[in-house]
Amino acid sequence: MTLCDVTSQLDQCKRAMIIQTSPSGMPRLAVTMYEHNALCLQFAKAFGNDRFERLEPFDLMVFVVSNHDAGWLDYDRDPGIDSATGLPYNLVNTPPASIITTSRLSPDFNERQHPYCGLLSSMHSWGLYNGRYGLSNLVLLDKVAAKDRPVADQMLSGELERQARLKGELAKDPQAAAWLDERKIFQSYKALQFLDTLALYFNRIHPAERVEQTFEHVPLSKDEDTSVAVRPVGDKTYTLSPFPLNTEGAEFAFSGRRVTPADGAGRGGWPAALQRLPTEWEIFQLVAA
């Protein structure tokens, strides 16, 4: 099977959202990848202070952080149903065949903005199948079944070719060439991974079930990393230690819709249900420990 075959079969595949955990018997918050990206955007703009270098080149990094999962946008509108739960298929349990094409579409989208955005997005896609380059203990999508491995390997090979091509394009631009230092590229990549996984911490886990979590290899600079711990301290407030943002006590928010299996059983299925169900916002505050 080729990537073209996978693309043509996407309508038959199960499409995913982020389905937040919940206490037993309670409705669960369904978060689209668009809504996940929107929380990443808030974090991207806030990242950086006297200790943590801010994202640079700033505008391009904010763009790729806020669009690193842009390949999912079409599938947000029409998720498949997980027969085990009766809910939209959860991202972390999605069959790899349904993810492989989105892993290519996201770099496609970002490359159209700028080669540097395409490079970082491609590294993100490749890293998801390869332990995030060994730089994070929060890897969700790297377990590919043997039957899906040939197609995944074809996609991943294509991403390595894309990265080499985009580096060649960037090298021709005097300003962009300065961003091609390998340490600088991985500083940008590690920042993207931190902002992505920090957003997933809130998107994926119900507030009552969140516990302390540590994020590895958060870049202070191109030469130095640290680990950052998030910890709930009550009243919708969480500490970050060390604190990597430029404003302490700032509020952040993301949206979703509370869903039950019955919601998708009506006319129009889940696409209609997701348009009909009211949007619910979760607001939280991040402070220094």
Task: Name, in order, each residue with C-beta under 8 angstroms of 81's C-beta and a sequence gap of 6 or more.
Answer: 14, 87, 88, 89, 264, 269, 270
What is the structure's pLDDT at 3? 36
What is the structure's pLDDT at 16? 65
Q: Which of 180, 192, 217 is nearest to 62 (CA)?
A: 192
Question: Token pair 């590919």 is at which residue?
Answer: 144
278 residue type, one letter: P
Three-class secondary structure of residue 11 per DSSP = helix
Mean pLDDT, each 10-residue run in order, the chain (289 residues)? 36 63 93 95 98 98 96 76 83 70 91 98 92 72 69 90 98 94 97 97 97 97 98 95 96 96 84 91 97
Strand partners, 167: none
Residue 222, phi then psi, degrees to nearest 5? -70, -15
What is the structure's pLDDT at 173? 95
Q: pTM of this prediction?
A: 0.90
What is the structure's pLDDT at 9? 34
What is the structure's pLDDT at 96? 67
Between CA 16 and CA 36 the distance in angstroms is: 13
**With helix as H, strand as E and coil as C, how does 74-120 read?**
HHHCCCCECCCCCCEEEHHHCCHHHHHHHHHHHHHHHHHHCHHHHHH
Q: What angle do CA 184, 186, 188 make, to 5 degrees?
A: 75
260 residue type, one letter: T
Q: Are 45 and 15 in contact (CB under 8 A)?
A: no
Taking each helix axis as running N to C, give the angle between helix 96-113 and helix 58-67, from 0 to 180 degrees, rounded to the nearest 10.
160
What is the structure's pLDDT at 97? 66
Question: Token pair 């970050």 is at which residue?
Answer: 240
